[in-house]
Amino acid sequence: MTTENKIYRIGALLGSLNGAGAEKTILTLCTRFAELGHKVDLVTLTAHADYPLPDNLNQIVLSTSNKKKARPELERITQEGNYDFFVTSKPEFYDAIQAKKKVCSVHITPTAWITDPKWKFLKRASKILRLRRRFRNKQLIALSQGIKDDLVQNLGCQPDNITVIPNPYQIEEIRTLAGQDGPLPDGDYIVYVASLNKRKRQQDLIRAFQMMNAQNLKLVLVGKGNDEQRLRSFCEQNDLQDQVQFWGWDANPYRLIRNARLSMLTSEAEGLPRVLVESLIIGTPVVSTDCPSGPKEVLTGELKPYLVQVGDVTGLSQAMSRALNQYPELSSLDVSRYAVESVADQYLKLVFRGSAA
């Protein structure tokens, strides 16, 4: 049993169990809470699921995904649930949640998603104002220090209302899954596990890969998304269709990471990228863009040279070549701060001490 040997009623809200980072983070947390003996409800707006639901979790699917209609239903469910603690990644539903303690986990660097150029200052100002309203007066969990800095410096959130707690990882399970048998690409390959959308900037990676002129390597993109057809067309236009493989969704990407020569992240904005930590847990070298935020908090010390400015395709290609030829030893790297046991304990301490700040 956990601290104080008390069983808590814990709830969490997600849009669905689709294969994305925020969903994986909260699902991992909830699974750990249930393992510790707590009674856990996972509330979702829809029944869609890429991730399987663990047997120890109870799922409640709302009757509608319409935000306006879902709010009163969520309020009723959480009031009846008498929750000691509730976690959501959706700030727009925060006020509707009834619980003794509640937190909103922030998985991205909010203002980094504003893509309007600075000269469109009125449009940018309007979006920043909306973000201020979204996050103000809430108890927040920031997955990285970079997220907290953005919330405080750019959105005016109170520092005392924000706790930095990283993504949770089931370290031994990840390593076990990485060793499982399953389909693999033929020959040596570089892997990128991410949804296929413009924010992930897979086209930069494809261009950097092309510059390497590595005939003996493949680039394998694991994931799905609305940018796939554009990326496929780009590969065809550049005669790369035989070297770039679109793998699609895979329930166990860890074996693909383990058997890759190199794992990549080329996003323009993140929070604390799961794939970076997962690759290091498995022992696969990684190269990443130094996007806001998270990568520079993960790739430190000897790994810092493998951070590249967002959009620097030449620098990305050079870093990939260096990583393939020489990379620091990863076997002794300490990843314990990301262990789900440690992370879940930090969440539960928010309840124990009587404040989510």
Question: Does 253 lie in the same domain as 194?
Answer: yes
2 pLDDT band, cuts 50/70/90, is: very low
Tell me, yes or no, whether 206 and 282 share the same domain.
yes
Q: Which of the four pLDDT bands, split at 50, 70 and 90, describes residue 1?
A: very low
Closest CA to 293 of 21, 167, 107, 16: 107
Tell whether 234 is covered by a domain: yes
Q: What residues contact residue 352 under an 8 Å CB cut-off, 6+ apart?
A: 3, 4
State the virtual CA torsion across 87, 89, 94, 96 in degrees, nearest 10: -80
User: CA 51, CA 88: separation in Å to the nearest integer?
Assistant: 18
Q: Which tokens hold the place of 193?
A: 């596990």
Q: In what order do the strands lie in the sheet with 140-142?
A: 58-61, 39-44, 9-14, 83-88, 99-106, 140-142, 162-164
Q: What is the pLDDT of residues 262-295, one digit of tens each?
A: 999 999 999 899 999 999 999 999 999 999 999 9
Residue 145 makes CB contacts below 8 A (sequence gap 6+) with: 164, 293, 297
Q: Output the six-digit token pair for 262.
A: 């190199």
Q: Residue 100 has what pLDDT?
A: 95
175, 177, 183, 186 alpha-carbon torsion, rounded to 10°: -10
pLDDT tens-place string over residues 15-37: 988 867 788 899 999 999 999 99
Are 98 and 191 in a shared domain? Answer: no
Query: Is residue 357 one of the residues assigned to a domain?
Result: no
Q: Based on the domain organization, do 286 and 207 belong to the same domain? A: yes
Q: Which domain holds residue 282?
A: 171-336
Q: Which two tokens stand for residue 127?
A: 């979006």
**Longest CA pairwise span in the chain (Å):** 62
pLDDT digits (tens, 9 = 90+) for 75-101: 999 999 999 999 999 999 999 999 999
For residue 296, is it within any domain?
yes
